[in-house]
């Protein structure tokens, strides 16, 4: 599902050059659970930003479902990300003005699903997470 070869990310600012990733080779199969661990500053977030199609590598290959995506432009990355990638953040990143139901529903609106399909999926997800009783509550 995910394969990187010699993946490198260098950040440049005036006279300073920082190598955040140095020739990373990685294979992740579909359905596999992977932990990315290491000390602060070792490139974990940079790697996740590239794998999540939020950033691009300076060099190397990044294949997602056997398609080379390393050179994709922002529009191509956004289209692929919208259909295939979800993020779980350390903090909640919920919209305070939306109910729990509306926060869960928002990505489904971006996918263009009908109101009926969205409602069904949100209700199923909330029930699965045992949160149906909180669907009208606000994050705060």
pLDDT tens digit sequence for 109-131: 988 899 999 999 999 999 999 99
Q: Which residues of the chain have pLDDT under 50?
A: none
- What are the tokens at 105? 């529903």
pTM of the model: 0.70
- What is the distance between the alpha carbons of residues 131 and 140, in angstroms, rounded to a whole number? 15
- What is the distance between the alpha carbons of residues 127 and 140, in angstroms, rounded to a whole number? 21
> Which pLDDT score is estimated for 21?
95
- Rounded to 5°, angle at Cα 31 from 29 and 34: 70
Three-class SS state of 5: strand
Three-class SS state of 24: strand
Three-class SS state of 109: helix
> Which pLDDT score is estimated for 90?
66
- The gap from C-alpha 107 to its chain's centroid, in whole angstroms, comes to 12
């Amino acid at each position: 599902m995910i394969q990187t070869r010699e993946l490198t990310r260098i950040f440049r600012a005036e006279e300073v050059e920082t190598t955040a990733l140095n020739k990373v080779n990685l294979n992740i199969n579909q359905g596999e659970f992977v932990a990315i661990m290491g000390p602060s500053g070792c490139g974990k977030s940079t790697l996740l930003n590239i794998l999540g199609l939020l950033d691009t590598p300076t060099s190397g290959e990044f294949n997602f479902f056997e398609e080379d995506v390393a050179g994709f432009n922002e529009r191509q990355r956004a289209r692929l990300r919208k259909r295939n990638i979800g993020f779980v953040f350390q903090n909640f990143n919920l919209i305070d003005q939306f109910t729990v139901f509306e926060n869960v529903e928002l990505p489904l609106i971006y996918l263009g699903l009908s109101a009926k399909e969205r409602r069904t999926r949100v209700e199923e997800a909330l029930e699965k997470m045992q949160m149906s009783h909180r669907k009208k509550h606000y994050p705060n």
